[in-house]
Structure formats: C-alpha cells, structure tokens
C-alpha cells in the first residue's frame, strides 16, 4: 500500500515517521516544494529502520508528482502553520491556493486515491478540495477530530489522574478554537460517565482547554504542534489502508446529517478501505444541537471566502 504525503514539514514528516515505524504502509512518498527538503526527511526516517525495525520504503521528492503515482492515500499537509496569537482561519489566504493546486496535481497521477486534508483552516480546505476536484464525498476526509478527541482524552485523563487510553471521548464540530464541541456528556472512564468523578466546573475546564489545545501548543512552541497531529493522521490512514472501520470524528461532506448541507465539518464516521463508509448521525441534546448549528455557521462563513478560489 502506498501513501503520499504532500508537505514534508513538521506534520507531514512526523506522519511519515509514524506510518513507517508502525508498518502501516509498504511505501511512503514525501513531496515538498523546498528543494531537497523531502529527500532529506525521507533519508533521515529511513536511517531509523534498523533501530526501530521497520521495512517501509520512504522516499522524498521535490515537486515531482509522477513519483506519487498510484497512491492509495494522499495526505495534504502543505501550507503555512499559524504563529502564536493567530487563528487557523487567518491561514486561508495562502493555504487555499496551495491546497487547490496540490489536490489537482495528486489526482492526475492517483485518480483513485483517498485524500486526507490536514492544512488549515482544515474544514474549509476539505470543502475546497472536494469542490475543486469533484471527487465523491467518501474520498475526501478532513483530519481534525481525531486530534481534538485525543487532546480531549488527554485533558480528561489529567483531570481524572488516570491513563488516556482508559478514557473514551469525542470532539465534533469545526476544527477551530471556538467551533469545537467536546462531547462531555458522552465521555467515559472505562464505560463509567466521567461526571461520576469530575464536577461540572472541572468538566467545563477540560472542555475549554481542549478547544484551545492547538493554540496553547502554538504559544509554547512558536509554531503549531506536530507530534499528535502526525500521529492522528497516521491513525486515520491506518483505518483506511487496513480497512479497520474505526469510528473517528472526521470533517466530511454533509447532506442532511445533523441538519446540515453543503459543508464539511467534524462528525463521527466509520473509516475503512472506501474512505468514509458511514456517517453516524447520533442524537444530540438541545444544547449540543445549538452548538453544532453555531459551529456550522462559522465554518460556512469561512467557506464563503473561497468564492474567488473556486470561481
Ligand atoms: N488539521 C489539523 O489537525 C492540523 C493542521 N495543521 C496544519 O497543517 C499545515 C502544515 O503544518 P506544519 O507541518 O506544522 O507546517 P510546516 O511549515 O512545518 O510544513 C509545511 C510544508 O509545506 C510545504 N509546502 C508549502 N507549499 C507547498 C506546495 N505547494 N507543495 C508542496 N509542499 C508545500 C512547505 O515547504 C513546508 O515544508 C498547516 O496549515 C497547519 O496549520 C497542523 C496541525 C494539525
Ligand atoms: O493549532 C494549529 O494551528 C494546528 C492545529 O490545527 C492543531 O494543532 O490543532
């Protein structure tokens, strides 16, 4: 199985690293526009093979899309990341042009691929990739919910003082500081509602920390995060390539689900070899429904900025 990752920067290279050492794909191609950069990252990753014991073939190319031919999955991480104090939405001006060109280029050589969009503002970039390529909706997946949910589980685990892997929880809605919806009501510690252990005040604090999880790291690091983002993409790619049919919150095109149409936004999905195999239209309570509608309004407003790119 072959995976192409466009953008060999922090997130793209970390994703390639995780995919290789976990043996998720037999071949990974890293592509970047910076001369020699993807080649260098690929060589560095390949020199881990004997110490971590993997057999994935990782190669790097400078803007040569012919080398990406027949990829089963293409991950788009190309574009600029935010700096402290910025929102993801402020990246649209530069990233929209990059994502549109990259999506078109990869499809020339891999017409049957499944595309995973990572570049921010991710929900809008996913919508752009879908609209500009005309790919069927099951083959365009925005990665954000997997990351936001893992941060939610991390913050819950810190509050509970228990391991993250004993916590089950999901974030839906937009992948933005104010649009994420951590589903606190449904979060559990080994099947027991977390509200058995944490007060409403503690749960509200966890939800607030989750929503600004990316901004917090950007403030600490000076650029946005990459370890958890790269690992989250690899988790999603694993479910596609190995047909695991995991339930993962992903940004996908909605046609009536959650009362929404003509938008890509985070909802629980079954992810397998066909990409998005099912969208789970779960029952939200009234306040969650209101939050989802508000989140969708914000994402839709951002999508309106694509008019000139999509014209
Ligand atoms: N959806 C999510 O959950 C997350 C999204 N992101 C987003 O992912 C993107 C990448 O972040 P980082 O890897 O930290 O940035 P980075 O700056 O480390 O890497 C981006 C790479 O893209 C390359 N690039 C730019 N234009 C290109 C083009 N036309 N073709 C090929 N390569 C191109 C650059 O040369 C650079 O190496 C950002 O937009 C960031 O906001 C980051 C983390 C999580
Ligand atoms: O915070 C950012 O800008 C990058 C990102 O999407 C994340 O780490 O969640």
pLDDT band at 310 (very low <50, low <70, confident <90, very high): confident
Pocket of ligand 1 (CB under 6 A): 6-12, 31-34, 37, 77-82, 88, 91, 95, 98, 102, 118-120, 122, 143-144, 147, 175, 223-226, 229
Ligand 2 within 6 A of 88 CB? Answer: yes
How far, in Å, from the CA of 196 to the mean position of ligand 2? 31
11 is in an annotated binding site: yes
Predicted confidence (pLDDT) per residue in 263-284, tens digit: 999 999 999 999 999 999 999 9
Answer yes or no: pTM beyond 0.90.
Answer: yes
- Nearest atom of ligand 2 to the alpha carbon of 147: 9
Supply the mean pLDDT for the chain.
97
pLDDT score, position 24? 98
Predicted confidence (pLDDT) per residue in 219-256, tens digit: 999 999 999 999 999 999 999 999 999 999 999 999 99
How far, in Å, from the CA of 16 to the mean position of ligand 2? 18
pLDDT band at 172 (very low <50, low <70, confident <90, very high): very high
pLDDT score, position 309? 87
User: For the residues 182-208, what does the mean pLDDT come to?
Assistant: 98
pLDDT score, position 308? 83
pLDDT score, position 58? 98
The β-bridge partners of 162 are: none
pLDDT score, position 4? 98
The catalytic residue positions are 175
SS (H, E, C) the chain: CEEEEECCCHHHHHHHHHHHHCCCCCEEEEEECCCCHHHHHHHHHHCCHHHHCCCCEEEEEECCHHHHCCCCEEEECCCCCCCCCCCHHHHHHHHHHHHHHHHHHHHHHCCCCEEEECCCCHHHHHHHHHHHHCCCHHHEEECCHHHHHHHHHHHHHHHHCCCHHHEECCEEECCCCCCEEECHHHCEECCEEHHHCCCHHHHHHHHHHHHCHHHHHHHHHCCCCCHHHHHHHHHHHHHHHCCCCEEEEEEEEEECHHHCEEEEEEEEEEEECCEEEEECCCCCCHHHHHHHHHHHHHHHHHHHHHHHHHC
pLDDT score, position 113? 98
pLDDT score, position 177? 97
User: For the residues 62-76, what does the mean pLDDT come to?
Assistant: 98
- Name which residue sits closest to atom 4 of ligand 2, judged by CA: 224
């Amino acid at each position: 199985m072959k995976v192409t990752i466009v953008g060999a920067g922090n997130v793209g290279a970390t994703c390639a690293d995780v995919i290789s050492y976990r043996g998720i794909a037999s071949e990974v191609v890293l592509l970047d526009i910076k001369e020699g950069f993807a080649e260098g990252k690929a060589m560095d990753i390949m020199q881990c093979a004997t110490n971590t014991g993997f057999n994935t073939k990782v190669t790097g190319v400078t803007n040569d899309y012919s080398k990406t031919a027949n990829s089963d999955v293409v991950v788009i991480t190309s574009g600029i990341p935010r700096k402290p104090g910025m929102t993801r939405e402020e990246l649209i001006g530069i990233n929209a042009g990059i994502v549109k060109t990259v999506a078109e280029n990869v499809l020339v050589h891999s017409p049957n691929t499944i595309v995973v969009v990572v570049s921010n503002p991710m929900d809008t970039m996913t919508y752009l990739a879908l609209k500009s390529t005309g790919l069927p909706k099951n083959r365009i997946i925005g990665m954000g919910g997997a990351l936001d949910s893992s941060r939610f589980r991390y913050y819950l685990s810190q509050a509970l003082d228990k391991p993250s892997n004993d916590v089950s929880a999901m974030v839906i809605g937009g992948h933005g500081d104010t649009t994420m919806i951590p589903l606190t009501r449904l979060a559990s510690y080994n099947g027991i509602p977390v509200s058995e252990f944490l007060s409403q005040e503690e749960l509200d604090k966890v939800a607030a920390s989750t929503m600004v999880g990316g901004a917090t790291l950007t403030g600490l690091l000076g650029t946005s995060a990459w370890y958890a983002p790269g690992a989250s993409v690899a988790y999603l790619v694993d479910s596609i390539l190995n047909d695991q049919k995991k339930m993962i919150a992903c940004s996908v095109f909605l046609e009536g689900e959650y009362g929404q149409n003509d938008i890509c936004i985070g909802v629980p999905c079954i992810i397998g070899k066909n990409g998005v195999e099912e969208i789970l239209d779960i029952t939200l309570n009234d306040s969650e429904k209101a939050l989802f509608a508000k989140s969708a309004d914000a994402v839709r407003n951002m999508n309106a900025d694509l008019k000139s790119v999509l014209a």
